[in-house]
Copies of this chain bind each other. A is one copy, B any other.
Amino acid sequence: MERIITSLQNNLIKEAVKLKQKKYRNLNSLFLVEGHHLVNEALTAGFLRQIFYLDTLDFPFNNAFQVSESVMKKLTEVNSPQGIIGVCDKPEKMVLSDKIILLDNVQDPGNIGTLIRSAAAWGFDTIIADNSVDFYNEKVIRSSQGAIFKVSLINQSIVDFIYNNQDYQLFATDLLSKKELKDLNLDYNKIGIILGNEGTGISKEVLNLVPNKFKIKMKNMESLNVGVAGSVIMYEIFKRSDY
Residues of A within 8 A of B (CB): 110, 114, 117-118, 120-123, 125, 143, 145, 147, 150, 182, 216-221, 223-225, 227-228, 231-232, 235, 238-239, 242-243
Contacts and interface: CB of A to CB of B under 8 A. Distances in A.
A121 to B, nearest CB: 4
A128 B91 CA distance: 42
Contact of A220 (B121, B216, B217): B121
28 contacts: A110-B110, A114-B225, A117-B221, A117-B224, A117-B225, A118-B224, A118-B225, A118-B228, A121-B220, A121-B221, A121-B224, A122-B219, A125-B220, A143-B225, A145-B223, A145-B225, A147-B221, A150-B221, A182-B239, A216-B235, A217-B238, A219-B238, A225-B231, A227-B227, A228-B228, A228-B231, A231-B232, A232-B235
Contacts of A219: 120-123, 238
A46 B34 CA distance: 45
